[in-house]
Structure 1
Amino acid sequence: MSGATKEGTFGYLKKFGKYSKDFYRFNGELFFPTLGIGTYKPEPYKEDNYIINYAEAIKAALRNGINLIDTAINYRYQMSEREIAEALNEMFANGEIKREEVIIASKAGFVPLDFPFPNNPYGWIQENMIDKALALKEEVIIDQHCMSPGFLRWSCEQSLKNLEIDTIDIFFLHNPETQLGYVDQETFYARIKAAFELFETLREEGKIGSYGVAAWNGFLYEEDHTEYISLGKIVKIAEDVGGENHGFKYLQSPFNLAKPHAYGYTNQQCEDGKYYPLMHACMKYGISYIGSSPLLQKNLFKRPFAPKIGELMNTSELSDVASALQFARSAGAISAVFGAVDPSHVIDNTILAYIPAASSEAMNMLMGDSYAV
């Protein structure tokens, strides 16, 4: 069983002919829904992480036009990936969905541990990483993060087992900026290069389709910040490693009403010498941008939204959640990934599939114009 294909994802979207024509977007390789479903759960030590299950939400998403599933090996100690497999296997078996119709993204970089949470996590690292020569002790940063090729290969192959698939469509290097401040810039970019060399090998082996970088703040900081990542340098590394047909195709970072920097903050220098917001720089480099945390883990809703937001987003008759998701999918991201455990929340969010995305004029009125300088 291979991965997602252009033909498969196009066939999938044709099942939802009543949706707005702009609900799906094509990046030259795959057709993406402008809303994807994610499986991150914060506060992993809380008891509810041991009793929730994403399987029903995943099935609801796939039955309602959302065929982008985003996860990571470390989410809930590998349980999120395993619950995705539970949902997919049921739907594959009964013919509801085909593998080539589904875009599956996962991430590697953080130490995942395993479910249930081990009594001695430091012992887990020693036994499963250091003793097995997946990484040197100094390559494991603050007992949390590692970019050694051996560890990243293990992570990919373990994710394939967890997901019970042959190919991960998008394989992200997960929050690499975690290492900045603990290693210097030269070491950091050398580790990125070694990771990308591995990813190109994994592409050749058919274990991943494309790869990318999923960051939190790294691409959004000012240029002189300790944890700043230069997209231009990352693209140059990909070109050096993989040539013109390199597999670095995706970038993921937060984009929401409280954190709109990817659209409005000019901090990434492109080949023309000018600085652009991250989303615009991605377009210039041919990188597909995927927005994460569109609801800021529900922190956007501490008070009701101003009526102007609903008016500009064309969501006045809908909830603030719908307005936030409409904002996140309207700026130029190929998709915005929201998290949901309750299937009814997934179905509620798909009301946006019937509504065109907000116009660029509306987005600029809400945010203010920000272009190259």
Structure 2
Amino acid sequence: MRTAALGLDTYRIRSSVLTEAVVRAATRPADAWIDTAPNYLDGQAQSLLASVLARHPIPVSTKVGFLTDQVIKDALSNRALTIEEAEHGHCLSASYVHWQCARNRTELGRDRLDLVFAHNPEHTVGDPYEVLRAAFTALEAEAAAGTLTAYGVATWDGFDTGTLTVPALHQLASEAAGTEHHHLRAIQLPVSLVTATAFTQALDEEGPIAQASELGWQVYASAPLFGGELPRLATLELTALLAPHLTTAQACLLAAASCPGVTRILLSASTPAHWAEAQAALRSPAIPTTTLRKVLDVLAAT
């Protein structure tokens, strides 16, 4: 069993160290990846990434959904957004998705986007599936126009609450594309020893991670260290059970990377030391499923 690849998450990285973090992430171009969004770093993440990505043209996933003040102002001016949508602060309408995809390309300095996630559709007003139907139709049109390679759904608790399911998303994308050969190719969700519902299900070949894997989709694990809190919550006994040769942070990261079906771990690592430690952890052998199950059972009982 192989561990997931490592990708750089730009959500928590300070703008002052973003360039250096991307350069470190690009040292292994064969499996390098950057994850961002137009609302990260107060709306500046994509523009700040553009110059360094021009020198290091590695793949990037970005998003559509959440609105910054500047996006609201510009989208309203371009009639890509209604007043009601602007007041809600989140939108996945077809007109807005097309507009934001174009803006993402401009800000990132790219003619074609590698992967665009519909960002937290559980935050939408009304039926999330009806909203996603419009978003998927727009994203399929972007793919048909050659401006987008693939799209996905990024969620925090949409799968845990049952608001979203992989089979329903697959069906919706098939309807939007008019064929099962659609461009919905990825999901992003939190996977850690704390946010462990989907993790536990995957160990039994069930739940969204296993279902996405069966469809051949990529699975991006966000917040593998629970926003940096997990190493402070984990015990030395837990570390010894997971991977005694690693630090607590490394062991917790390796646990998420060992989850069956997870293809990439997204980590906000601001310093060279943290990135090197993460790379070293993911070079270790995957933690056996039996060990992961034992650890998650113990944690669930506490």
Instruction: Give TM-score scaled by structure 1 length.
Output: 0.72
Give the alignment of 1:1-373 within 5 angstroms: 22=2, 34-41=5-12, 52-64=16-28, 67-91=32-56, 99=57, 102-114=58-70, 125=72, 127-140=73-86, 142=88, 144-179=89-124, 182-183=125-126, 185=127, 188-221=128-161, 223=162, 228-242=163-177, 243-265=179-201, 276-303=206-233, 305-314=234-243, 316-332=244-260, 333-368=262-297
**4+ residue runs over 3 A deviation:** none
CA offsets 1:69-127 (integer angstroms, 9 cap, x no match): 11111101332222322222234xxxxxxx4xx3211111010344xxxxxxxxx62x3
Contact preservation (8 Å) 2:192, 2:199: no
Larger radius of gyration: 1
Contact preservation (8 Å) 2:112, 2:147: yes
Structure 1 or 2: more helix by fraction:
2
Q: Tell me the CA shift for residue 359 of structure 1.
A: 1.8
Q: Tell me the CA shift for residue 138 of structure 1.
A: 2.5
In 1, the alpha carbon distance for the partners of 2:263 and 2:140 equals 23
* Secondary structure class of the residue paired with 1:253: strand
CA offsets 1:16-74 (integer angstroms, 9 cap, x no match): xxxxx935xxxxxxxxx6211110029xxxxxx5x523110110111156501111111
- Structure 1, unmatched stretches of 5+, are 1-20, 24-32, 43-48, 92-98, 115-123, 267-274
Q: Tell me the CA shift for residue 357 of structure 1.
A: 1.6
In 1, the alpha carbon distance for the partners of 2:61 and 2:146 equals 15
CA offsets 1:270-306 (integer angstroms, 9 cap, x no match): xxxxx93221222234332111011111121334x33
Contact preservation (8 Å) 1:202, 1:208: yes
Quick one: which amino acid aligns to residue 264 of structure 1?
A: T
Contact preservation (8 Å) 1:172, 1:212: yes
* Secondary structure class of the residue paired with 2:41: coil
In 2, the alpha carbon distance for the partners of 1:252 and 1:323 equals 21
Q: Tell me the CA shift for residue 204 of structure 1.
A: 1.4
In 2, the alpha carbon distance for the partners of 1:337 and 1:156 equals 22
Contact preservation (8 Å) 2:187, 2:218: yes
* Secondary structure class of the residue paired with 2:228: helix
Quick one: which amino acid aligns to residue 130 of structure 1?
A: L
Contact preservation (8 Å) 2:251, 2:281: no
Contact preservation (8 Å) 1:78, 1:162: no
* Secondary structure class of the residue paired with 2:285: coil
How big is the alpha-carbon RMSD for the aligned residues of Structure 1 and Structure 2?
Answer: 2.4
Contact preservation (8 Å) 2:59, 2:114: yes
* CA 230–249 in structure 1, closer or farther in 2 if over 3 Å, else same: same
Quick one: which amino acid aligns to residue 111 of structure 2?
A: D
* CA 240–350 in structure 1, closer or farther in 2 if over 3 Å, else same: same
* Secondary structure class of the residue paired with 1:54: helix
* CA 78–206 in structure 1, closer or farther in 2 if over 3 Å, else same: farther
In 2, the alpha carbon distance for the partners of 1:78 and 1:248 equals 25
Q: Tell me the CA shift for residue 265 of structure 1.
A: 4.7
- Structure 2, unmatched stretches of 5+, are none
* Secondary structure class of the residue paired with 1:245: coil
In 2, the alpha carbon distance for the partners of 1:356 and 1:165 equals 36
Quick one: which amino acid aligns to residue 32 of structure 2?
A: N
| Identical pairs, percent | 24
Quick one: which amino acid aligns to residue 6 of structure 2?
A: L
